[in-house]
Structure 1
Amino acid sequence: MKKLHTSILFLFFFVNLSIAQNKLTVEKIMQDPKWMGTFPSNLDWDAQGQLIYFNYNKNQDPSDSLYKISLNQTSQITKVGLKEQLEIIPNNASDNISKTKKLFSKSDELFLYESALNKKKSLLLFGDRISNPRFLKDENRIAFESKNNLYVFDIPSGKIQKVTNIQIGVDPESKEKKASQKEEWLKEDNLRLLGVIKDREDKKAQTKAYREATEEKKPKPFFTGTKQISNLQLSPDEKFVTFSLITRSENKRTDVPDYTEVTGYTTNIAARTKVGDDPVKVELGIYNLTTDSVMMVSADNLPGIKDLPDYVKDYPEKKWEEKDRKIIPSSPVFSNDGKNAIINIRSFDNKDRWISLLDLSTGTLKTLDRQRDEAWVGGPGVGSSFGGGTLGWLSDNKHIYFQSEETGFSHLYLLDITSGTKKALTAGNYEVFNPFISKDGKSWYLTSSEVHPGERHFYKMPLMGGKMEKLTSMTGNNDVTLSPDEKQLAILFSSSNQPWELYLQANSSKAKAKQLTDGQSNAFKEYPWRESSLIHFDAADGAKVPARLYTPDASNNNGAAVIFVHGAGYLQNVHKWWSSYFREYMFHNLLTDLGYTVLDIDYRGSAGYGRDWRTAIYRHMGGKDLSDQVDGAKYLMAQHGVNAGSIGIYGGSYGGFITLMALFNASETFTSGGALRSVTDWAHYNHGYTSNILNEPFNDPIAYERSSPINFAEGLKGNLLIAHGMLDVNVHFQDVVRLAQRLIELEKDNWEMAVYPVEDHGFVEPSSWTDEYKRILKLFNETLLK
């Protein structure tokens, strides 16, 4: 009996010791993330597909280094030395059509790598920096850029030809031609009177004419003036050069003061401009090498180029001028035979995206596809204003491929440029990510969310469409990097409660993935991290809103709840993989241990759910995205025993903005909130992000007035914590300074501000993270628990 009693005491002691060791604290979860372990990132293969390279930190170095695993010895993780790193074929090397050769440059040297020989050789030591080497239609000829001009290197002969003669600045002869009438008269009179001077000038002219007649013909100079030149490309048939001319506007920028600068003096950090400032002008030029002439591409004939946005109807008193909208053309994408080129064109208001066929000889455009969105064009693979996204040619030089949200979800399309026939290769209420064509040209590889919005899997599909074969099977996110021979999948995989690890799998749907890394520390493994429930709740307008739910044990439920609002607006956080908000995830585990119910919502505006979900916040941020938080709170009270008056809300950046709107406009629902690095007035944020959603403040003031928290500060009734980094060059500290003054003038006394003198938008110091989250926890404990 005594022995049994002793055993019970020992068991009781062991259980309590285990609980004490596993207990989460703010200090523990907000310390340097190295305490969690080391996790692989940035996967790549060697050119032969025998080594997997990745960033890792096996030896507790100050930062991640490059490591490798050999397919011949997958249990061994080895750090890559500097000498070996210098020998690696870069992943941005340019392939020939058959993908048997690669071109790349290092400083002023041009290299060729041949896969069959597993050998690289130096082709050219140029003397000036080389960039963007590309194979031409004749693969013995290579185009490259140096000092704002294009050159062609002929491998068999070793000859180099300068293709363009682009010069930065203004033509000096044009300066002379602009001389005043007085100066011209004086020159002519001097030549009339002084015969020796006239003879010398005549000889100069004769010498110049003789030199030009006997020298090898050089391209006529093209002067850029004050404009910058970029995206130089030589067509595969070597007949045309395309380039972009960029005119940057001189907009006023905000200075961010640094009060902790090492010298002891306050210094200013030059930061961004504000929404509505003058845009960058981008022009697309064509250099015809046959006629030695330059023309600029005109977008006058684009369908709908003069279309006004729908929101103008809200301003009947304003006269709206119908004129060509400003556009941003991308760099052309050439067919392999060089006979055709397509470009992606965006209207500067981002409500239109045209894919057009470019006639290189005339500079005219033929529209192949137009996507119009009265909010803004976007979505996976659609790209941004300056290009990017999925766009290219099939090897038949007849079909182009691209992604579009035409159906409401981003899918992959083919279009026949001869007939105009368009075909959707994928379809359904899911999205497609990063499609690319197989080495043999017969298939597509792509990632999609077909199984579930919160899962990512890798697929193979016939080139002209057909059944997609799912190659991965692990539940979570399968971020695949395919080996060069396409026989192996290197997979970065994570689940909702397990960070990223590296796996290897044969390229077959029947194969099983093998885990190659196990980077979690013992301290991290000791705690049983929760796998949150992925649920939907009903919004007032009938929408099914996705969310993560963390519920405490019934015996520990304190009747209070916290709602977390993710940042970025267009971002997904309700998914089955390891969150980029890993600190917040750990904090939610801590809150749940304390008896809180936690809800993390993919509110309207979030990524992963198609166009309509993304654009539901158009012209009213703090509308549907806020009402989704309110409806989430109602769901918690109705379904999970949360008490009215015991609900808090917090988030950073966009999440901080929503927190302010919640405290100001939904005070009957939210008792307390932590607004971290929050936007308080959208008229003071940047142009690229804000103008898509709210247009421009001087054209659509209604949208800004109803979307900016500073306009609703009088509604504050609950308890507000504002936290902001003073070196924030994204959401400037000025935002919360202006809000603070507004709250002072409104005589509000239920708010406080914590400032972080050495932090930018994303905090880096563990001490700052710890201080911030101790304040958030204290706020919730003191105001929500009754």
Structure 2
Amino acid sequence: MKKSIIITTISLFISCVAISQTTSSYKTGTKEITLKEIWNGTFSSERMNALNSMNGDFYSLLNTDKETKLTTVDVYSYKTLEKIKTVVNSQDLKNLDGFSSYSFNNDETKLILGTDFNPVYRHSFTGTFYAYDIASKKLSLIGKEIQEPTFSPDNLKIAYAKDNNLFVKNLATNAITQITKDGKKNHIINGTTDWVYEEEFAFVKAFKWSNDSNFIAFLRFDETTVPTFSMDIVGKENYPTQEVFKYPKAGEKNATVSLHMYTINAGNSKKISLGNYEYIPRIKWSNEDNILIATTLNRHQNDLKLFKVNASRTSSTLLLNEKDNAYVDIHDNLTFLNDHSFIWTSEKDGYNHIYHYSSTGKLINQITKGNWEVTKYYGFNKDKKTIYYQSVENGSVNRGVYSIGLDGKNKQLLSNESGQNSAAFSKNLHYFINTYSSTEIPPIYALYSGEGEMLKVIKDNASLKEKMSEYKMSPKEFSTININGNDLNMWMIKPANFDDNKKYPLLMFQYSGPGSQQVGNRWNGSNDYWHNMLAQTGIIVVCVDGRGTGLKGRDFKKVTQKELGKYEVDDQIAAAKKLAARSYIDNNNIGIWGWSYGGFMSTNCLLKGNDIFTTAIAVAPVTSWRFYDSVYTERYMQTPQENASGYDDNSPINYADKLKGKYLLVHGTGDDNVHVQNTYRMVNALVTANKQFDLAIFPDRTHGIYEGRGTRLNLYTKMTNFIQENLNKNKDKSIEIKG
């Protein structure tokens, strides 16, 4: 419920603040937040461009001059953060006005430049791509309307996908070899993924060059028998068009996926046998030239296997088998060492930790241990025998960056102790850029050494912090609330002029999906500003992360298995009732809202908790897991054929007759993720039950409902008015909600 754009991007979240800032008292001004300010970018923090780590102590950035519109790829030093040189400037390129993506070859002598992108699905795209030789400044066309062009490691060829087939172009001769010929839309896909793999397994490029450039491993998807979904696109013409694509819903036929090995010299492909499986969610070459690692999963996704595939022999042997009573998460945390042993992360001891296995798959040691989760694995420095990772060791609402020896010793905190710290490491792991934020400190970007020494502040967003001091804002108050025997993380936002002798309506916000987290010690997002705006009109806003959410261990997260919407709903209802008992909460005016999974939750809470919730907003909600995709849904629910009660007992469609409060239902008709079918079915159930409700439909908008000027402003204006009219009934009439 979830491009590789041709640039190796490193997400720049990360740390480094003067500790004195973190201890400052919370200050608030007098200006009122407006919806226009939230959605016109007034409160946006300054960010760093996504950077590409290079060989040595260097990184590159894609820069565009605002005045001349010229685009450059520039190289910088990690040590000084100063620009070293410009690799390519769009003004020097004939027949190419500009480019918006780039990637280097292995020895950084050539580039692939991309432009004219058009979306395929939510995360994939086609484009026009060129090869650029840095020394000669020669530019040559690779292809138009192609996907995922990738240099061979020997820099002599480029592989790419086009029209569901896979091709290789020889850079010396410009000869093109077509590897597959059976590709056809909505039938056969070679080298890229189908909709559900792209969305739920989070990758698009389904081919990999071997280290010696002699082989290309690729996946083939036969989606011929997968049911077809269609959406009408209103557009701007007299007649609408229709988007038609294969979408396997829960319990329906998936694409048949197979692994194939293409041999460059022989010019042929062979299918690789991997035994019985439903999915191949990852392929990755090991550090041996002819050994590919293929990951398989059964349909229940609780039996994961790593296979060693010998490309020369096209044979496979089992390397590792991991099982779980619920499901096994898919990740990219697989690193091979010089002795062919490997590093892997797993929840096998109840929390996500880092493990070291031998080349034969025998456990050598568990590297990290404790009742806390490793949240990111950054890499292994072979010279120092040191692993870098992010975890919640200092509390599940925080993130810290750490190093630890391969033997599990000499653990060191490299970042700030509290708040959110995230690292973007250099390729050689000598440096990292840390992004730090907390509820009181906007993002601060700083350069660190691999040993954790803060070298230089890059951006500090001090102007944003100063700006926010002028606005009437309330701090997030973090705490825990004991619900159904569990201490759940919670934050609360009260009006700045809060008086505990008064009573205030309560609005609860949540997402609640498996492994998610909303209660985190981080800087504001758009919803946080909106929640604060609502708080200043006299509403208390609360968020509670109930059972099923993440970063508190396997058992806490997986308790919802086969019952999505049961325990999570129970926790939100129980939390609402417990909060309602507080003297300053108006127990006759309690609302809840959420988006996507959160919309599923808010709808269920209003219906099943109709004795406590009086108002709800559901944006783009799932209303029956029978309508959602196979991979996500069956990971947690198994199939409807196996678990009908789990699907139906927790579907709000089947409880429409319980509606008593005020309900706003919102959806975009162009949502290819959570289809508007969910809302239409909910509407039908409410109509049949003769229940009144409010409905907002946004034509052609996708799951995020953001396309088009003013869309988000319009949506949040509607939600604000709905809350003020139905939840905040006793608000001061002098308060004006400004657009």
Q: Radius of gyration: which is bigger?
A: 1
1:33 aligns with one of 41, 52, 55:
41
The answer to whether 1:470 aligns with 2:432 is: no
| CA–CA separation in structure 1 for the residues paired with 2:208 and 2:590 | 58
Taking a change above 3 Å as real, the CA distance of residues 731 and 357 of structure 1, as seen in their structure-2 partners, is: closer
Match of 1:693 in 2: 636
Q: Deviations over 1:84-140 (max 9, x none)?
A: 9999998854547xxxx67654545375xxxxxxxx54699887559422436xxxx
1:109 aligns with one of 124, 131, 151:
131
Match of 2:511 in 1: 566
CA displacement at 1:591 relative to structure 2? 3.2
Match of 2:474 in 1: 530
| CA–CA separation in structure 1 for the residues paired with 2:479 and 2:67 | 38
| CA–CA separation in structure 2 for the residues paired with 1:555 and 1:358 | 66
Match of 2:683 in 1: 740
2:601 aligns with one of 639, 658, 678:
658
Task: Figure out how many residues of one structure are paired with residues of the other and give that number.
Answer: 652
Is the 1:341–1:357 contact (alpha carbons within 8 Å) kept by the matching residues of 2?
yes
Q: Secondary structure at the match of 1:644?
A: strand
Q: Where do residues 308-457 of structure 1 align in structure 2 (5 Å cutoff)? A: 324-328=276-280, 330-336=282-288, 338=289, 340-360=291-311, 362-378=313-329, 382-383=330-331, 389-396=332-339, 398-418=340-360, 420-432=362-374, 433-438=376-381, 440=383, 442-457=385-400
Taking a change above 3 Å as real, the CA distance of residues 567 and 104 of structure 1, as seen in their structure-2 partners, is: farther
Match of 1:590 in 2: 533
Q: What letter matches 1:747 in structure 2?
A: N
CA displacement at 1:726 relative to structure 2? 3.5
Is the 2:512–2:546 contact (alpha carbons within 8 Å) kept by the matching residues of 1?
no
Q: Deviations over 1:461-514 (max 9, x none)?
A: 224432222111263222222345655432222212444342233444353662
| CA–CA separation in structure 2 for the residues paired with 1:69 and 1:529 | 39
Is the 1:564–1:598 contact (alpha carbons within 8 Å) kept by the matching residues of 2?
yes
Q: What letter matches 2:478 in structure 1?
A: L
Q: What letter matches 2:476 in structure 1?
A: S
Match of 1:166 in 2: 179
Q: What letter matches 2:159 in structure 1?
A: E
Q: Secondary structure at the match of 1:262?
A: coil
Gaps of 5+ in 1: 1-17, 112-119, 171-224, 301-323, 384-388
The answer to whether 1:262 aligns with 2:236 is: yes
> Which protein is richer in helix relative to its size?
1
Q: What letter matches 1:669 in structure 2?
A: I
Match of 2:32 in 1: 23
2:153 aligns with one of 97, 110, 135:
135
Is the 2:274–2:307 contact (alpha carbons within 8 Å) kept by the matching residues of 1?
no
| CA–CA separation in structure 2 for the residues paired with 1:474 and 1:75 | 29
CA displacement at 1:710 relative to structure 2? 0.2
Is the 1:143–1:234 contact (alpha carbons within 8 Å) kept by the matching residues of 2?
no
1:680 aligns with one of 606, 618, 623:
623
CA displacement at 1:247 relative to structure 2? 1.3
Gaps of 5+ in 2: 1-26, 114-128, 193-205, 734-739
Q: What letter matches 1:22 in structure 2?
A: K
Q: What letter matches 1:365 in structure 2?
A: S
Q: What letter matches 2:301 in structure 1?
A: N
| CA–CA separation in structure 1 for the residues paired with 2:386 and 2:72 | 35
Is the 2:669–2:676 contact (alpha carbons within 8 Å) kept by the matching residues of 1?
yes
Is the 1:40–1:55 contact (alpha carbons within 8 Å) kept by the matching residues of 2?
no
Is the 1:233–1:241 contact (alpha carbons within 8 Å) kept by the matching residues of 2?
yes
Match of 2:15 in 1: none
Taking a change above 3 Å as real, the CA distance of residues 683 and 85 of structure 1, as seen in their structure-2 partners, is: farther
| CA–CA separation in structure 1 for the residues paired with 2:433 and 2:261 | 41
Taking a change above 3 Å as real, the CA distance of residues 250 and 351 of structure 1, as seen in their structure-2 partners, is: same
Is the 2:152–2:159 contact (alpha carbons within 8 Å) kept by the matching residues of 1?
no
Is the 2:488–2:546 contact (alpha carbons within 8 Å) kept by the matching residues of 1?
yes
Q: After superposing the two structures, state which structure 1 stretch, 761-770 or 265-274, moved more.
A: 265-274
The answer to whether 1:543 aligns with 2:486 is: yes
Taking a change above 3 Å as real, the CA distance of residues 757 and 360 of structure 1, as seen in their structure-2 partners, is: closer
Q: What letter matches 1:661 in structure 2?
A: N
Q: Secondary structure at the match of 2:729?
A: helix
Is the 1:455–1:575 contact (alpha carbons within 8 Å) kept by the matching residues of 2?
yes
RMSD: 4.3
Taking a change above 3 Å as real, the CA distance of residues 753 and 361 of structure 1, as seen in their structure-2 partners, is: same
Is the 1:661–1:709 contact (alpha carbons within 8 Å) kept by the matching residues of 2?
yes
| CA–CA separation in structure 2 for the residues paired with 1:144 and 1:329 | 24
> Which protein is richer in strand relative to its size?
2
CA displacement at 1:574 relative to structure 2? 0.9
| CA–CA separation in structure 1 for the residues paired with 2:286 and 2:695 | 55
| CA–CA separation in structure 1 for the residues paired with 2:265 and 2:341 | 27
Runs in 1 of length 4+ with deviation above 6 angstroms?
54-57, 59-62, 64-76, 78-81, 84-91, 123-127, 158-162, 288-293, 783-786
Is the 2:28–2:471 contact (alpha carbons within 8 Å) kept by the matching residues of 1?
no
Q: What letter matches 2:373 in structure 1?
A: E
Question: How does the TM-score come out when normalised to structure 2?
Answer: 0.76
Q: Secondary structure at the match of 1:680?
A: coil
Taking a change above 3 Å as real, the CA distance of residues 110 and 760 of structure 1, as seen in their structure-2 partners, is: closer
Match of 1:204 in 2: none
Q: Secondary structure at the match of 1:520?
A: helix
The answer to whether 1:773 aligns with 2:735 is: no
CA displacement at 1:631 relative to structure 2? 2.3
| CA–CA separation in structure 2 for the residues paired with 1:395 and 1:84 | 44
Q: Secondary structure at the match of 1:707?
A: coil
| CA–CA separation in structure 1 for the residues paired with 2:49 and 2:138 | 34
| CA–CA separation in structure 1 for the residues paired with 2:515 and 2:582 | 28
Q: Secondary structure at the match of 2:328?
A: coil
Q: After superposing the two structures, state which structure 1 stretch, 694-703 or 662-671, moved more.
A: 694-703
Q: After superposing the two structures, state which structure 1 stretch, 674-683 or 516-525, moved more.
A: 516-525
CA displacement at 1:705 relative to structure 2? 0.7
Q: Deviations over 1:310-331 (max 9, x none)?
A: xxxxxxxxxxxxxx45342632
Q: What letter matches 2:326 in structure 1?
A: A
Q: Secondary structure at the match of 2:587?
A: coil
| CA–CA separation in structure 2 for the residues paired with 1:769 and 1:758 | 18
Identity %: 21
Q: What letter matches 1:578 in structure 2?
A: W
Taking a change above 3 Å as real, the CA distance of residues 54 and 469 of structure 1, as seen in their structure-2 partners, is: farther
CA displacement at 1:401 relative to structure 2? 1.9
| CA–CA separation in structure 2 for the residues paired with 1:635 and 1:34 | 37
Q: What letter matches 1:356 in structure 2?
A: F
1:228 aligns with one of 190, 208, 214:
190
| CA–CA separation in structure 2 for the residues paired with 1:84 and 1:521 | 38
Q: What letter matches 1:24 in structure 2?
A: I
Match of 1:458 in 2: 401
Taking a change above 3 Å as real, the CA distance of residues 290 and 770 of structure 1, as seen in their structure-2 partners, is: closer
| CA–CA separation in structure 2 for the residues paired with 1:35 and 1:66 | 29
| Higher RCO (C-alpha under 8 Å, 6+ residues apart) | 2
Taking a change above 3 Å as real, the CA distance of residues 570 and 35 of structure 1, as seen in their structure-2 partners, is: same
Taking a change above 3 Å as real, the CA distance of residues 82 and 604 of structure 1, as seen in their structure-2 partners, is: farther
CA displacement at 1:717 relative to structure 2? 1.9
Match of 2:217 in 1: 242
CA displacement at 1:558 relative to structure 2? 2.3
2:159 aligns with one of 145, 149, 153:
145
